[in-house]
Amino acid sequence: MTVPLTAPKESILEAEQRVRRKDLSRRWRLFARGAALPILILAVWQTLSATGAISEQLFSSPWLILKQYAALTLSGELPHHLRISIVRASLGFLLGGSAGLIIGLLVGMYRRFEETVNPTVQMLRTVPLLAITPLFIMWFGFGELSKVLLISLGAFFPLYVNTFLGVRNVDAKLFDVARVLEFSRFRQMTKLVLPAALPNILLGIRLSLSIAWLCLVVAELLGADTGVGYMIQDARAFMQTDIVFVGITIFALVGKLSDSIVRYLENRLLRWQDSYKG
Amino acid sequence: MQPVLEIERVNKTFYGEQGTTPVLQSVSLAVHEGDFTTIIGPSGCGKSTLLKIIAGLDLSYEGSVQLRGKRIERPTQEKGFIFQEHRLFPWMTVEQNIAADRSLRDPGVRKAVDELIELVKLGGFERAYPRQLSGGMAQRVAIARALLRQPEVLLLDEPFGALDAFTRGHMQEALLDIWQTNQTAMVLVTHDIDEAVFLSTRVVVMDARPGTIKAIVPIDLPYPRSRTSRAFTELRTLVLNRLDHRAELEQDVYSI
Ligand SMILES: Nc1ncnc2c1ncn2[C@@H]1O[C@H](COP(=O)(O)OP(=O)(O)OP(=O)(O)O)[C@@H](O)[C@H]1O
Ligand SMILES: [Mg+2]
């Protein structure tokens, strides 16, 4: 990049805005490129089931699924189940995620704390969640508590590991700066450690969210009388393939949506980074 | 007059796996208000170590280091420190970096930050992130950040070492400007004899293994200094001779 010597002082900031505007038109093209394959698959699927090449009973068809969407939404059934699922997943994520964040920060900041807590957490982390599920059901029953706790257990680990990693990656030289500038403990946390670890923390949030979602499905399939997982289970019993597909796609949609929100946050909050963006 | 900074018979030894390394031996130096002291010496003679001791970042030494008659016990804002790299917080804008742990919403801080941005000539870049700045601009932000704390003494460890010659010249002039405006005592470590003679009121020449002060050369030239004047070149040669005895010998050969 060449900048004329006489460039006005704001030129760097203006250039930044110009680049961002250009990004917008690029994003549309990117979207079109990403959407091409799913649209093709849907078209083939619809054609195959319309011509009777595959069984509508087993594979349903995009059109039927869409109709079922409308029907379930109008009857209020889908919003009802979805709301309950989202509440469960959010509660579990908030509980487990915030515990992972706080404990990860402490373990990252204080070596004493790390030596006491980290070995135990790493050991628990290797236990498959599905293996613990029966225990949870025995202890907490089939109610909400066991579901939320299972989800929070799943959401705990990614945020814990990534926060810990993020704190350990903070440039030691910047701690010297904080000492010279006499940052208080609180300021050291809010002005140095948290922002420096933020890229890792956000990655941890994304991973935690997807695991929370996964655990929700497990919990609801195992035993529930509400929620999208229950809706799928119930539909399966009656061979209502289209409803099963509605459940699956709604999981996918909400999962993608929550991921996009965090990605958006990443873009906003990490504007200061100059790392390679593809 | 009481010196701002008084270093008396400081010894410093590193105890490592390779045995003990004596780094500083009986180093004594007094810095008065308005002084611009540069320290020059071969690589590894303990310049950075001495600066860290003054900053309070390193406390395991013998001897006494006092700021305004008080023993230095930890890093404080009275001793500004400029590192070789700018060490700005990459997630803060220029103005946030200068304020650092202080709030820009405080009108007093806001005003002081604005004045400093003016002083280091970064108007228009208040909201830029460090990645958008050149090396020289970033180093000026670091200087402004230190000055906001109104230090008694500003310690600079090869602050312009990483800059190209052209930018370095600009930065030296900027630093002189700041020094003349604020009258903050400066202690600057450099490898560059030219820089030392151009900037300071005296040059402290150090020797290596172990690090000792070999000579103190007062630079009694009026500011602004011309690098091409005869007096300037003579003082530069003088410092060079103090720095390296072999150079002195060669000079003798040449002068025959
Ligand atoms: N943490 C340390 N542990 C052991 N030895 C050290 C340590 N830091 C510095 N030293 C030694 O102390 C000596 C002086 O180091 P110092 O960094 O102060 O030199 P310097 O004069 O700043 O050199 P340069 O001009 O290259 O920056 C060197 O020989 C170095 O090997
Ligand atoms: Mg050094």
- Three-state secondary structure of A135-161: HHHHHHCCCHHHHHHHHHHHHHHHHHH
pTM of the model: 0.82
Local confidence band at A12 (pLDDT 50, 70, 90 cut-offs): low
Contact assessment for residue A252 and residue A184, using Cβ atoms and an 8 Å cutoff: no
pLDDT of B250 strictly over 60:
no
Checking DSSP bridges between strand B19-31 and strand B5-16, what pairing results, if any?
A: antiparallel
pLDDT confidence band for A131 (50 / 70 / 90): confident
- Domain ranges, ordered by start, for chain B: 5-78+153-254, 84-150
Indicate the pLDDT class of residue B254, thresholds 50, 70 and 90: very low
Cis before A4 (ω within 30): no
Question: What number does the ligand 1 atom closest to the CA of B41 have?
Answer: 21
B88: left (phi over 0), alpha (psi -120 to 50) or beta: beta
Distance of CA A194 to the CA centre of its chain: 20
Domain positions in chain A? 1-54, 57-269
Length of chain B: 256
CB spacing of A191 vs B100 below 8 angstroms: yes
What confidence score (pLDDT) does residue A207 get? 94
DSSP H or E stretch at residue B29: strand B19-31
pLDDT for the residue numbered B234? 93
One-letter amino acid for residue B134 of the chain: S
- For the domain B5-78+153-254, what is the CATH superfamily, name and number? P-loop containing nucleotide triphosphate hydrolases (3.40.50.300)
Question: Is the pLDDT confidence value at A5 over 60?
Answer: no
Backbone angles phi, psi at B20, to 5 degrees: -95, 140
- A139-145, long-range: CB < 8 A, 24+ apart: A142/A223, A142/A224, A144/A88
Note whether A181 and A192 are within 8 A (CB).
no
B101: nearest CB among A174, A191, A271: A191
Q: Note the pLDDT of residue A1.
A: 44
Measure the CA angle with vertex A13, ends A7 and A15; round to 5°: 70
CA nearest A170 in B: which residue?
A: B89
Nearest of B28, B80, B8, B4 to residue B206 by alpha carbon = B28
Residue B108 contacts residue B116 (beta carbons within 8 Å) = no
Alpha-carbon gap, residue B180 to B198, rounded angstroms: 14
Q: What is the pLDDT of residue B216?
A: 94
Paired with A67 in beta bridges are none
User: Considering only CA atoms, which residue is closest to atom 3 of ligand 1?
Assistant: B14
Query: What is the reported pLDDT for A3?
Result: 46
Cβ–ligand 1 contact at B19 (below 6 Å): no
Class of domain A57-269: mainly alpha
Number of other CB atoms surrounding residue B15 within 10 Å:
9
The model's confidence at residue B120, banded by pLDDT at 50, 70 and 90, is: confident
For chain B, the average pLDDT equals: 90
Task: Identify the closest residue of chain B to A270 by CA–CA distance.
Answer: B91
Written as six digits, the tokens of A16 are: 């930044």
Q: What is the pLDDT of residue A277?
A: 53
What ipTM score was computed for the predicted complex, to two decimals? 0.85
DSSP B130: G
Contacts 24+ apart (CB under 8 A), B158-161: B158/B84, B158/B189, B158/B190, B158/B191, B159/B82, B159/B83, B159/B84, B159/B188, B160/B136, B160/B190, B160/B195, B161/B84, B161/B190, B161/B191
Q: Which residues of A touch B90 (CB under 8 A)?
A: 272-273
The answer, for B134 touching chain A at a CB cutoff of 8 Å, is: no
Q: What are phi and psi of B113, to 5 degrees?
A: -65, -45
CB contact under 8 A, B87 and A176: yes
Atom 10 of ligand 1: nearest residue by CA position? B14
Q: How far is B11 from chain A (nearest CA, A)?
A: 23
| β-pair partners for B6 | B30, B66
Per-residue exposure over A229-251, b if at least 16 CB sit within 10 Å of its own CB, e if not: bbbbbbbeeeebbbbbbbbeebb
Q: pLDDT (tens digit, 9 = 90+) per residue, B197-216?
A: 999 999 999 998 889 999 99
Alpha carbons B53 and B181: distance in angstroms, whole number = 27
pLDDT at position A2 is 47
Q: What is the DSSP letter of B222?
A: P
B70, B81, B83: which is closest to A182 by C-alpha? B81
- Name the token pair of B81: 């420190």
> Is there a contact between B66 and B72 (Cβ–Cβ < 8 Å)?
yes
What is the rounded average pLDDT of the residues B152-178? 89
What's the pLDDT score for residue A11?
Answer: 66
Question: Which residues is B10 bridged to in the sheet?
Answer: B27
Query: Torsion angle of alpha carbons A205, A207, A213, A216, nearest 10°?
Result: -90
* pLDDT tens readout for residues A13-68: 777 777 777 788 888 898 999 899 989 999 999 999 889 888 888 888 899 999 99
Average pLDDT over residues A152-170: 95
